[in-house]
Amino acid sequence: MDSIFKAIQASAIRIKDAIDTKDIGYSQKENSSGETQLELDIKCDMIIEEELSKIYSVHTVASEEKEHEVVLHEGGKYFIAYDPLDGSSLIDVNLSVGSIFGIYEGAFGAKNMVASCYVVFGPRVEMVFAHNKTKLHLLQNGDFEFVKEIRLNEKGKLNAPGGTQQNWEPYHKELVDSFFAEGYRLRYSGGMVPDLHQILLKGGGLFSYPATSDKPEGKLRKLFEVFPFAFIFEKAYGEAIDSKNRLLDLEHKNIHDTSPCFFGSKYEINRVKESYAAAKR
């Protein structure tokens, strides 16, 4: 696991350099989710695959930017799914973006998840790695220095409601509005990594990307985004559900499957469960 942690660190340093130096033009290609790829998306995908291919314990990788998984070492035991540069379209307005990694043992799948990690590229470069606990690291002088363990409060103050509001179910809008009526602050940039990083570091709250009329299975990808953050939130004493079920109990069929997702402190997640259960009665 330590060699994977170091490979992710090496990738992050190279990605930071690519963000700072590479042009951010669009390629002529689309990823499996039908999103036009930035040249930078492709570059970051290559960087991560190169760094992970040096580790013989990595059997297979799956990237959000590739249709199919790639076998690296038949004798390896880890299966790593990653989103090389989540929210990359925010770079041209100079907002924070991130890379997300899910580390699975034996095969891809929530029940096989053994660790997860994200790197946030903002005013500073920070990494959060969850194995037994959720730990924050800061890039300083070319090294990632351990900063602290992250623990969410039972109840937070931030509300990050994703998705197009006109496509929300009425009961989802009522739930979101009820938090604002309690004095929660709106914190939503459209970048999953910085939006969740803020909730983790500011003590808690709720990030939601629900089922909507235009995306009934949600938008965010299980293997690359949803399961890694679910693991991170649970190791930080928070919770992560699909509105009813624990996200890390979900199955997947295709490596690009999506799921509605709610990440947060215990109080907020209980409110989601109650609100959705009442609506479905």
Terminal C-alpha separation, the chain: 45
Among 49, 86, 126, 239, binds ligand P6P (CB under 6 A): 86
**Identity of the residue numbered 13:** I
Please, which residue, 145 or 214, has the CB nearer to ligand P6P? 214
User: Of the listed pieces 24-32, 113-121, 190-198, 252-260, which binds ligand P6P according to CB under 6 A?
Assistant: 190-198
**Rounded-to-integer distance, Cα 177 and Cα 165, Å:** 11
Separation CA 222–CA 228 (nearest Å): 8
Helices 227-235 and 192-201, packing angle to 10 deg: 10
Quickly tell me which residue has 């037994």 as its tokens: 132
d(CA 260, CA 134): 23
The residue to which tokens 């990030």 are assigned: 207
Task: Mark 92-121 with x for binding to ligand P6P (rule: CB under 6 A) and - for no binding.
Answer: ------------------------------
Binding of ligand P6P at residue 190 (CB under 6 A)?
A: yes
Question: CB–CB of 8/58 below 8 Å?
Answer: no
215 close to 258: Cβ distance less than 8 angstroms: yes
Q: Which is nearer to ligand P6P, 130 or 226 (CB)?
A: 226
Residue whose entry in the numeric block shows the structure tokens 């969410």: 152
What radius of gyration, in Å, describes the C-alpha atoms of the chain?
A: 18
CB of 57 to ligand P6P, least distance (A): 29
Task: Rule CB under 6 A: say whether 163 interacts with ligand P6P.
Answer: yes
**Min. distance of Cβ 276 from ligand P6P in angstroms?**
19
Nearer to ligand P6P, 97 or 113 (CB): 97
The stretch near ligand P6P (CB under 6 A) out of 141-149, 176-184, 188-196, 243-251 is 188-196
Q: Could you tell me which residues come within 8 angstroms of residue 174 by beta carbon, excluding any fewer than 6 positions away?
A: 275
Nearer to ligand P6P, 87 or 204 (CB): 87
Residue 41 makes contact with ligand P6P by CB under 6 A: no
Q: Is 87 in the site for ligand P6P (CB under 6 A)?
A: yes
Q: Applying CB under 6 A, does 210 fall inside the site for ligand P6P? A: no
What is the distance of C-alpha 239 from the center of its chain? 14
Which residue's Cβ has the minimum distance to ligand P6P?
192
Determine, following the binding rule CB under 6 A, whether residue 162 of this chain makes contact with ligand P6P. Answer: yes
**Under the criterion CB under 6 A, does residue 64 sit at the interface with ligand P6P?**
no
In the numeric block, the tokens 């965010």 are attached to: 220
Specify burial of residue 65 (Cβ count, 10 A radius: 0-12, 13-18, 19+): buried
Q: Minimum CB separation from ligand P6P for residue 207, in Å?
A: 8
How far is residue 142's CA from residue 162's CA, in Å, rounded to a whole number? 34
| Nearest distance, CB of residue 209 and ligand P6P, angstroms | 6
Nearer to ligand P6P, 106 or 190 (CB): 190
Judged by the rule CB under 6 A, the positions of this chain that interact with ligand P6P are 86-87, 162-163, 190-192, 219
